[in-house]
Amino acid sequence: MRVGIEAIAFHSVQHYIELADLAEARGIDPEKFTKGLGQVRMAVATPMEDTVTLAINAGLKALENFGIDYGDVGTLVVGTESGVDHSKPVAVYVHEALGLRSNCHTYETKHACFGAMAAVFSANDWISCGRADGSKALVIASDIARYPLGDRGEPTQGAGAVAMVISDTPNLLQFDSEINGHYTKHVMDFWRPLYSSKAFVNGHYSIECYLRALEGALADALDKATIPELYKLNQLQACVYHVPFSKMAAKAHHRHFEVDAGEKIDRESKRFEDVKKSFSEKTSPWLSLNRIVGNIYTGSLFLSLIDLLRKNTSAGLKQISMFSYGSGCAASMNIAYPTPGFERFKDKIDPEPELNARRRLRIDEYEEIMRISDSLGTGDTGEFRASEWGLTGDFLYLGNRNHIRRYSGLS
């Protein structure tokens, strides 16, 4: 049975900052952020945009833009690192807002940035084993990445959601049923205790953990392949990775190349030119959205996938690899095949017009938003007004009353 992605959509928050502005405000050379990390802009969520509002809007777009019958959705999963409640899942708010059927299997998954990929694998299995009975799965990756102001992680924040419909009519991308490598190890590279709204991170160690996990997942994938040669780098037209910041994808591709070549390749060596060429052909062109959105944790890999699909045709794209990493940690490496003719959906998946319409914030405005978000506390918040935050559209977070989160468009 063919299983894969039938529909995909990204939803952005409505504000951003230029990282050059942030660098200037922090007294840092802007090239550290733009070249050293490979990031240009960073999405900033106001207090009225949260994981729920992002997920609802992305889910609506995926279903509406591709004309999918809401009654066909039999499973709804939201993968998130930044859920809004220790108990009630984001997915239930989405279920209500979209008016999905009551016998829809609905839940939330968590494993840092790996949460949505885990849900994609589950959806794939649900359909492949025949239990979906013609129904489709809506999988949404929704996150707001937060570090403290002035922290080294600050330029690697972001916000946004990617929604995907997984089905047996994969009009965009089909998953390889054989290649599915996994890796798990207990590491303290990035975590967020229940009492904290911001992540704790051991930044340089997290990069090491990511790269070790890539080696582990790749080794497992190749071990499972009947003909491993079919999955060598020279057989792949594109490699997409989890992208906390664009430079991380370059480091990931470097390690992928080394494993593939069976040798260590120093950045100062002549051979590194081959790594750079491979990166510029297979990965770098699909990082343009990540560069202007920032880290969206669970959705970062899929944002890069959207970029790949909007920039290619099926004539030029046959076989791709996808690497997902979630701190803590878990990782996967899998192979997928863009579906012939997928390019007819390009306009439906392209988020660039929406990203271009965002409003640029000054750094003092951004800092004020972060401070207000931090000061909301646990009690009643009063009612937020969209006009005060310069927001438009439906499904915004209105604030807390009696410990209940309230949303426009939801009773």
Question: Which positions touch ligand CAA (CB under 6 A)?
Answer: 29, 31-32, 35-37, 113, 152-153, 156, 189-190, 201, 203-204, 206-207, 210, 242, 244-245, 247-248, 295, 297, 325, 327
Q: How far apart are CA 60 and CA 4, in angstroms?
A: 19
Closest separation between CB of residue 46 and ligand CAA, Å?
22
Whose tokens are 């939801």? That residue is 410
C-alpha to C-alpha distance for 385 and 48, rounded to whole angstroms:
8
| Residue 11: active-site member | no
Of 11, 18, 104, 113, which is the active-site residue? Answer: 113
Report which of 197, 74, 90 is spatially closest to residue 142, judged by C-alpha positions. Answer: 90
d(CA 161, CA 409): 19
Nearer to ligand CAA, 37 or 306 (CB): 37
Token pair in block for residue 174: 């089909």
- Which residues, 6 or more positions from 273, have their beta carbon under 8 angstroms from its beta carbon? none
Is there a catalytic annotation at residue 81?
A: yes
Query: What whole-number distance in Å separates Cα of residue 92 and Cα of residue 87?
Result: 11
Q: Please, which residues bridge with residue 241 across strands?
A: 323
Catalytic residue among 6, 18, 81, 108: 81
| Active-site residue, 204 included | no
User: Which of residues 201 and 238 has its CB atom nearest to ligand CAA in the complex?
Assistant: 201
Write down the least CB distance from residue 231 to ligand CAA, Å: 23
φ and ψ at residue 319, rounded to 5 degrees: -135, 130
Choose the catalytic residue: 242, 253, 329, 343.
242
CB nearer ligand CAA, residue 207 or residue 410: 207
To the nearest whole angstrom, how small is the minimum distance from the Cβ of residue 192 to ligand CAA? 10
Minimum separation from the CB atom of position 247 to ligand CAA (A): 6
Ranges of beta strands (E only) in 146-274 are 158-167, 173-184, 190-191, 200-201, 238-241
The smaller minimum CB distance to ligand CAA, of residues 31 and 273, is found at 31
Q: Tell me the catalytic residues.
A: 81, 113, 242
